[in-house]
């Protein structure tokens, strides 16, 4: 059994597992061992891993004051050196961009909710609505290819066996509940008043589309695995 390491960014490791969502479920169902860890943990040797999946965070990838960010960047660089495939999701995609020489900064406007993405690689990333929850965006790093986009940001890039996405394929009702558990009343009010997000309606949409979202997430992971075959 090969091991897929998920790097989650919550101090509560149970929350980290919750935030891995349908992606961890699919990885396990595909026959891999799922390991959830924090960047500050004693992490496994990258050469022993099938792949590394870097999840989202409410923090900024360019915030050097984040205590564990340097350790995560160093670990990802070691994974690149070992040719261990990396899948970066939202914050994780931003971290992957950074270690490959790209940049991360504030987006012109946040993207919250299901937002349409246009894909050049339907075999890798479906076109259509993907769940978004970000205030920053990455640039496509040198040597990488943008494979999905929308007017707000590059939404996915490929660099050899590595894939960075700005959206959240792992979304599920449990993931959304884990996110909102951290939201202050002020943040929730700001999302609704400033961005026009109906939080209750968004959760209902996530519930109603849970099976479809999980299936698309599974297809994305399987396509990510297939990238290694074409390098």
* Domain assignment of residue 113, given as a range: 3-230
Beta-carbon neighbour count of residue 120 at 10 Å?
A: 13
What is the structure's pLDDT at 11?
A: 81
- Collect all residues with Cβ–Cβ distance below 8 Å to 33 and sequence separation of at least 6: 1, 2, 3, 4
pLDDT at 178 over 90: yes
**pLDDT tens track for 44-82:** 999 999 999 999 999 999 998 999 999 999 999 999 999
User: What's the Rg (C-alpha) of the chain?
Assistant: 16
25-61 in b/e form (b: 16+ CB < 10 A) is: bbbeeeebebbbbbbeeebeebeebbbbbbbbbeebb
Percentage of residues in the chain with pLDDT exceeding 70? 100
What is the structure's pLDDT at 17?
A: 86
Three-state DSSP at 129 gives strand
User: Are 172 and 213 within 8 A, CB to CB?
Assistant: yes
How does the average pLDDT of the chain come out, rounded? 95
What is the structure's pLDDT at 15?
A: 84
**pLDDT tens track for 74-110:** 999 999 999 999 999 999 999 999 999 999 999 999 9
Q: Mean pLDDT, to the nearest integer, of 177-203?
A: 94
pLDDT at 231 over 70: no
Confidence class of residue 112 from pLDDT cuts 50, 70 and 90?
Answer: very high
- CATH number of the domain encompassing residue 113: 3.40.50.880
CB-side neighbour CA atoms (13 Å) of 92: 28
What is the structure's pLDDT at 56?
A: 96
**pLDDT tens track for 30-48:** 999 999 999 999 999 999 9
**DSSP percent split of the chain into helix, strand, coil, nearest 5:** 40, 25, 35
Beta-carbon neighbour count of residue 202 at 10 Å?
A: 18
**pLDDT tens track for 124-161:** 999 999 999 999 999 999 999 999 999 999 999 999 99
CA distance from start to end of the chain: 23
Q: Mean pLDDT, to the nearest integer, of 194-198?
A: 94
Query: Domain total for the chain?
Result: 1
Question: Catalytic residues, which ones?
Answer: 90, 168, 170
What is the structure's pLDDT at 168?
A: 98
The candidate with the shortest Cα–Cα distance to 177, out of 200, 211, 209, 196, is: 200
Distance CA 135, CA 56 (A): 12
CA–CA distance from 155 to each of 57, 72, 221 (Å)? Answer: 17, 22, 16
- What backbone phi and psi angles, to 5 degrees, belong to 66? -65, 120
**pLDDT tens track for 1-15:** 799 999 999 888 788
Tokens of 214: 């999980």
């Amino acid at each position: 059994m090969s091991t897929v390491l998920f790097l989650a960014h919550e101090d509560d490791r149970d929350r980290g597992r919750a935030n891995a969502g349908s992606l961890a479920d699919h990885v396990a169902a595909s026959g891999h061992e799922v390991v959830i860890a924090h960047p500050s943990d004693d992490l496994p040797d990258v050469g022993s891993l099938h792949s590394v999946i870097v999840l989202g965070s409410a923090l900024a990838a360019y915030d050097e004051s984040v205590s564990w960010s340097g350790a995560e960047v160093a670990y990802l660089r070691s994974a690149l050196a070992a040719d261990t495939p990396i899948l970066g999701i939202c914050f994780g995609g931003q971290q992957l961009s950074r270690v490959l020489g790209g940049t991360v900064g504030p987006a012109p406007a946040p993207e919250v909710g299901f937002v349409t993405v246009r894909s050049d690689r339907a075999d890798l990333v479906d076109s259509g609505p993907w769940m978004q929850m970000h205030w920053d965006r990455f640039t496509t790093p040198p040597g990488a290819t943008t494979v999905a986009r929308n007017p707000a940001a590059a939404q996915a890039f490929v660099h050899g066996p590595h894939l960075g996405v700005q959206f959240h394929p792992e979304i599920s009702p449990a993931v959304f509940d884990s996110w909102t558990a951290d939201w202050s009343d002020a943040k929730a009010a700001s999302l609704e008043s400033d961005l026009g997000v109906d939080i209750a309606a968004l959760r209902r949409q996530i519930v109603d589309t849970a099976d479809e979202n999980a299936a698309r997430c599974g297809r994305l992971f399987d396509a990510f695995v297939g990238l290694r075959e074409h390098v």
